[in-house]
Amino acid sequence: MTIIVHHLENSRSQRVLWLLEELALPYQVKRYERNKATMLAPPELRQVHPLGKSPVIEDGGTVVAETGAILQYLVDKADGKLGAPANREDALRYRHFLHYAEGSLMPPLLVMLVLARVPFFGKMGLKKFRPMAEVHFDYVEGELAKRPWFAGDTFTAADVMMSFPIEAAVKRAGILEGRRHIAAFLEKIHTRPAYQRALKAGGPYAYA
C-alpha cells in the first residue's frame, strides 16, 4: 500500500521523504505551503491530524505524526533496514541520536531562529543564547570526529533524523566555521542518490 506523506515546504518532513527513498518504500506526496505572513502550516493539516503539523503520514488506516515516530515506523515496516545496528553500543547511540535531534538539539536552534527575527532585543538575546547552542554543535562535531556516521560505521535512520537540525543550523546560524566533520557529514548525505530523489519529490528545500 502506498504511504501518503503530508509534506510541508522547508520543514522536518523532508527527512521522511529521504528515508522512504532509502528504504525503497512506495509513497506519494501531498505538499503544503506555509502562510507567507506567519510561516506557519496551513489549517488544512488539521484535517489530517489534530495538531495540524507536518510531517504526518497515512498508511492505510494508520496515521503517524512526529518525525522520530514516523522514522521508526518506516524502519519497522522495512523489516529493520537502516534501524539500530546489531552492536550494543552502536544501537544505544542510534537510539540516542534518534531522540537527541528533536529533544535536545532542535530547541536551542529554534530559539535562535526566533530571536534572529526580533529587532534589537532579539539580537541581544541571541548574543546571550548562542553559547548554549554552541555546546550542542561542539558535541555533534566531536561525535562525528569519532566515527563516520552518528551510530557507528554504517548509515542509519539516526543520520536521517540528525540531518534537519544540522542543515537548518548551517543555513540560519552559521555553525560550520571550525567544524569540518559536520561539513563532511553534510557533503556525504547531500550526494546520496536517495537524498537527491527526495529533493525532487518534495520540491524546493531551502536547507540543502
pLDDT tens-digit map of 156-187: 999 999 999 999 988 877 888 899 999 999 99
d(CA 108, CA 132): 8
In order of 97, 116, 158, the CA distances from 106 in angstroms are: 12, 15, 14
pLDDT of 120 reads 67
Q: Please report, rounded to a whole number, the percentage of residues in the chain having pLDDT higher than 90.
A: 68
pLDDT of 166 reads 95
Of 65, 7, 8, 67, the closest CA to residue 35 belongs to 8
Name the H helices within 50-192. Answer: 67-77, 88-100, 106-115, 121-146, 157-173, 180-190
**Is residue 80's pLDDT more than 80?**
yes
Q: Please report, rounded to a whole number, the percentage of residues in the chain having pLDDT higher than 70.
A: 98
**Is residue 7's pLDDT more than 90?**
yes
pLDDT, mean over the chain: 92
Residue showing cell 555553525: 175
Look at strands 3-8 and 27-32 and give their pairing.
parallel
d(CA 8, CA 31): 6
Of 176, 161, 114, 166, the closest CA to residue 14 belongs to 161
- DSSP class of residue 49 equals S
**Is residue 31's pLDDT more than 90?**
yes
pLDDT of 110 reads 83
Q: Which tops the pLDDT comparison, 35 or 186?
A: 186
**Angle CA 190–20–136, to nearest 5:** 50
- Residue 33's Cβ-side half-sphere holds a number of Cα atoms within 13 Å equal to 5
Q: Which tops the pLDDT comparison, 39 or 198?
A: 198
Listed in sequence order, the residues at least 6 apart from 104 whose beta carbon sits closer than 8 Å to its beta carbon are 136
* Structural domains of the chain sorted by starting position, each given as residue range(s) with its CATH number in brackets: 3-81+194-202 (3.40.30.10), 88-192 (1.20.1050.10)
Q: What is the band of 64 on the pLDDT scale with cuts at 50, 70, 90? A: very high
Q: Which tops the pLDDT comparison, 125 or 28?
A: 28
